[in-house]
Structure 1
Amino acid sequence: MSLASQPLGRRERNKQQKLERIIAAASELFAEHGVEEVTTQQIADKADIGTGTLFLYAKTKGELLLLVQNTHYAEALERGRTAAENVPTALDAVMAIMEPIVECNRTQIANGRTYLREVAFGDPEEPHHAEALAIAGQTEGAVAAVLVRDESIGDDEAATVAHIVTAISFFSMASNADPAVSNDLVVDDIRTQVSAILPR
């Protein structure tokens, strides 16, 4: 039996169960009240752990939000990649990637804005922040991959444009924090800006 296939020991199972309880508790409280209105003590109480234990998994409330949201963002990116696979034009393929990410970010608008702030300004040494940056990098990679389908766009140009597309998308999501602004309007805003920078 390989090391990878061996069952987890009791200590590892206990750690995994605590992590799952933390994620479930934080997800529920953040969705219901918004990240700014929730305390780490409330999350610890709901997860049935001490606050000291909570901070072993995430040192700040921002890191807790990243812990919760990174999975959702990764899933949104995967939906976008799948949607873009058979989209023929570069602009439509880029937007097929970005639309699920916009939807994910705006599920709870205040949390989405806080998530983007944490990605931009959080501590890159923290593991959940590093994971968020990796997801942003994967988003750029997905955009670059659809751009290079056009043989006139080289790898370097695609990577540069993908970086700009991601920046546009993050800024548009962060600046449209009014719940009265629909997801479609945010997507249209991103589309308009991206269409202006795509190679013609």
Structure 2
Amino acid sequence: MGGGHMPIGRRERAKQDKRERIMAAARELFAEHGVDRVTTQQVARGADVAIGTLYLYASTKAELLIMVQNEKFAAAVDSGLAAANATTGQGALEPVIALIRPVVQYVREHLENGRTYLRELVFGDPAEPCRQAGLTLAGRVEDGITGLLTRNEGIGAVEAATLARVITAIIHISTTATAFVHRSDEAVFADIREQIHATLAPHIRAA
């Protein structure tokens, strides 16, 4: 008998097809109208599935949003890590900025959806599978920043991890706070850059 993967059964193919249709409908509706103006019934109609079927894949609209946004967040994290790893000999600040730039751009691509997504990750049930996946992605950002900071001889692993947590808090507040909603992307990013520079400056000088 030949090797390779076992073929997917008809039932599993049907489940995958329904999930893909639900994701596609949710992605389109959230992008066009924003999460607050979309109902799960609308998503079910767009996916051509019964509302009860939709709830088998996501029990709330928040979970639907997280499922959709996790895909975009993952792509932003991958892009940021690749950009950061390509920066060498530029001190501590520039690699961190390279890592977080795609993440900030992703959150602000659709402000309502991005802000709601981050709030749901932080304040929602961490045991829910979609949130677990999103929190894992957030952990990749924090771990990536930690790794970049430990390239500096004067910054130890424990200190780098603490600084990474501070930096991720800066990103979260700057991209979700209502006071910053009407600022341009570049203004928000410039402010984030200044805050990170101020956070790292004493440690860079010590290094």
Report TM bin, short chain. over 0.9
**Are the aligned partners of 1:113 and 1:177 in contact in 2 as well (CA < 8 Å)?**
no
**Are the aligned partners of 1:25 and 1:46 in contact in 2 as well (CA < 8 Å)?**
yes
**Are the aligned partners of 2:93 and 2:196 in contact in 1 as well (CA < 8 Å)?**
yes
Q: Which amino acid is 1:184 matched to?
A: E
Q: What is the match of residue 11 of structure 2?
A: 11
Q: Quick one: which of 190, 197, 200 aligns to 2:199?
A: 197
Q: What is the match of residue 131 of structure 2?
A: 129
- Listed as ranges, the matches of 1:37-52 within 5 Å are 37-52=37-52
CA distance in 2 between partners of 1:31 and 1:107 (Å): 10
With normalisation by structure 1, the TM-score equals 0.94
**Are the aligned partners of 2:92 and 2:148 in contact in 1 as well (CA < 8 Å)?**
yes
Q: What is the match of residue 59 of structure 1?
A: 59
CA distance in 1 between partners of 2:131 and 2:112 (Å): 18
Following superposition, the deviation at residue 130 of structure 1 comes to 0.6
Give unpaired runs (5+ residues) of structure 1: none
* 1:40-90 Cα distance to aligned partner (Å, 9 max, x none): 000000001111111111111111000000010010011111111132221
Task: Report the count of equivalent residues.
Answer: 199
**Are the aligned partners of 1:26 and 1:43 in contact in 2 as well (CA < 8 Å)?**
yes
CA distance in 2 between partners of 1:125 and 1:177 (Å): 31
CA distance in 1 between partners of 2:173 and 2:49 (Å): 36
Following superposition, the deviation at residue 186 of structure 1 comes to 1.3
Say if 1:61 and 1:51 are closer, same or farther in 2 by CA, change over 3 A. same
- RMSD (CA atoms): 1.5
Name which one, 1 or 2, has greater alpha-carbon Rg. Answer: 2
CA distance in 1 between partners of 2:114 and 2:197 (Å): 24
Following superposition, the deviation at residue 177 of structure 1 comes to 6.9
Q: Which amino acid is 1:145 matched to?
A: G
Q: Which amino acid is 1:195 matched to?
A: H
Q: Which amino acid is 1:171 matched to?
A: I
CA distance in 2 between partners of 1:125 and 1:175 (Å): 25
With normalisation by structure 2, the TM-score equals 0.91
Give unpaired runs (5+ residues) of structure 2: none
Q: Which amino acid is 2:41 matched to?
A: Q
CA distance in 1 between partners of 2:144 and 2:46 (Å): 37
Identity of aligned residues (%): 49
* 1:133-182 Cα distance to aligned partner (Å, 9 max, x none): 10110110111111111122111111111111111101110015766421
Q: Which amino acid is 2:94 matched to?
A: D
Q: The residue matched to 2:144 in structure 1 has which SS?
A: helix
- Listed as ranges, the matches of 1:24-39 within 5 Å are 24-39=24-39
Q: Quick one: which of 141, 144, 168 aligns to 1:142?
A: 144
Q: The residue matched to 1:106 in structure 2 has which SS?
A: helix
Moved over 4 A (4+): 176-179
Say if 1:47 and 1:7 are closer, same or farther in 2 by CA, change over 3 A. same
